[in-house]
Homo-oligomer: A and B are copies of this chain.
Amino acid sequence: MIDKPRDYCGIFGIQNHPDAALLSYYGLHALQHRGQESAGIVTSYFDEEKERWIMPAHRDFGLVLNVFDDQEMFKNELKGRAAIGHNRYSTTGAAKNPANIQPFRVHYHKGNIAIGHNGNLANAKQLRNRFRQEGVLFQSTSDTELILHLISHSQKETQIEQVLDALEQIEGAYSLVMLTDDKLIAVRDPNGFRPLALGKVDGSYCVASETCAFDIIDAEYVRDIEPGEVLVMDQEAGSDSEPESYHLDPEYGTDTSQCIFEFVYFSRPDSKIFGENVDKVRRNLGKYLAKEHPINEVITKDTGDTKPIVISVPDSSNTAALGYVHENQKLGYECKYEIGLIRNHYVGRTFISPGQKSREQKVRTKFNTVKGVIEGRSVIIVDDSIVRGTTSRYLVSMIRQANPAEVHFLVSSPPVIGPCYYGLDFPDPKELIANRYGRDIEEMAKEIGVDSLRYLSASGLVDAVRESNVSSGGYCTACFTEKYPVPVNFGIAKEENEIV
């Protein structure tokens, strides 16, 4: 996919490790694909001289490698055996406001507390209005800050009770890492929208949005944080002690609803999320795509001896394309996986760039065709999803210039038709290609400029995911089906609070 929803956030936390900040840095780097706008790490340590807990923070706009460009800061500044980190691509909160860079950190009457959030609260607007009426002032335009106000306004006795009190008042999608003076708290909302895994390194527990953050620090994967679980890792307890678990009740009538788009596009193929290898699921999507649309039903031209070729849009659809090829070969249909598009990795993702006047120049800057591979062939492009369709169209026109016999476009997920209220920032529904062309696939194919356009069906998508991930609970497919598992009050109106 090349014109995809905005990525949102990666979170990481670690307790009781002498290199807490440094490991967080590597973890955030591995999660860079989940948010390239800003990065931050907060640690906690007890200052013997000042006789109080200190919670240093380093946060800035930019990639992890740029924000943390001086290794000294891990020794001198970000001291402590516990740390949390956050990569952001904002879904709410004005992008350019530095006050929106997470983790947030405050001091209140119970001590320090810091928070990093992946997701989107469904009742943010109500909560914000309630607080505004009370006269509460906000530092940021982010819904994450609401959680801190809920905690600091809680009348409960202990910090843990205050945190639970606060979490019971929020709805929607939230995987959280929180740091108090001496505790690391990892939370996954009762519906389990966003992933969050528990790992272990050198005997210390860590948590991360995806397990690729464990691999980079040689941590082992222990298990997922369960939907509704609040896991408390206490520093005082020492590294041998087991974390303590609390549980939040789901909203009445709602079920586990893990984001299926994580498998389709967001997560890295080398990660395990929702208990399964992303690579394996994505390969299965290719397999089901082949079952629904075997290549012999796709191609229409006879190109003689030269087999039809399957090319991916690198790198996100590589695995699905390979899965498609291998299943076709298994089914006895001749085809070859080829590298027909080269991606220039010196650009950030398309959506990152501001301005973006010329989407065409953008695509051309990012991709080039390998002409010899394409010329005279039946070309099947496999992509993971189509959102607006405008960049797909230009990509196809580039491929056409290399003179293929025909071009077909296969998508390893159904058409995107609805907005996401749980942490993804798709464009306005009116801009989605499926909506612009009344969900008429032929019209959409014409728009994109291909000989045919085919999608994986919604049931095929769910079956493909379930086949490879039997044990796991339910999925949210709202962006493909408009079935929203948790009612939403349409978030924070951005403009209203932008100026704070």
- A interface vs B, CB < 8 Å? 26, 29-30, 32-33, 36, 50, 52, 54-56, 63-65, 105-109, 112, 132-139, 148-149, 151-154, 212, 215-216, 268-270, 277, 279-280, 314-315, 318-319, 322, 326, 336-339, 342-347, 361, 364-365, 368-373, 495-497, 499-500
Contacts and interface: CB of A to CB of B under 8 A. Distances in A.
A144 to B, nearest CB: 13
B136 A136 contact: yes
Contacts of A135: 108-109, 149, 151-154
A319 to B, nearest CB: 6
A154 B137 CA distance: 12
B152 A137 contact: yes
A346 B32 contact: yes
A42 to B, nearest CB: 10
Nearest to A216: B364
Given A105-B499, A315-B343, A322-B337, 13 more contacts: A106-B137, A107-B138, A107-B499, A109-B133, A135-B153, A137-B139, A269-B370, A270-B368, A277-B372, A279-B372, A318-B339, A319-B339, A345-B345
B280 A495 contact: no
22 contacts: A26-B361, A29-B365, A30-B344, A54-B499, A56-B499, A105-B499, A106-B500, A107-B500, A108-B135, A109-B135, A135-B151, A137-B148, A212-B342, A215-B369, A268-B368, A270-B369, A277-B371, A314-B315, A315-B342, A315-B343, A318-B339, A326-B336
A55 B106 CA distance: 26
Given A108-B132, A109-B133, A280-B372, A269 B65 contact: no
B322 A338 contact: yes
Contacts of A32: 344, 346
B29 A344 contact: yes
Contacts of A154: 135
B368 A215 contact: yes
B26 A365 contact: yes
Contacts of A63: 346
Nearest to A145: B137
A65 B134 contact: no
Copies of this chain present: 4
Contacts of A322: 337-339
Given A149-B135, A345-B345, A212 B269 contact: no
Contacts of A50: 495
Chain A to chain B: the 4 pairs with minimum beta-carbon distance, closest first = A135-B153, A135-B152, A345-B345, A270-B342
A337 B322 CA distance: 8
A99 B212 CA distance: 35
Chain B CB within 10 Å — which of A109, A496, A497 has the most?
A109
B339 A337 contact: no
Contacts of A107: 138, 496-497, 499-500
Contacts of A371: 270, 277
B112 A136 contact: no
Contacts of A277: 370-372
Contacts of A326: 336
Contacts of A499: 54-56, 105, 107, 112
A365 B495 contact: no
B279 A373 contact: yes
A153 B134 contact: yes
A65 B30 contact: no
Contacts of A133: 109
A383 to B, nearest CB: 16
Contacts of A136: 136, 152-153
Contacts of A215: 364, 368-369
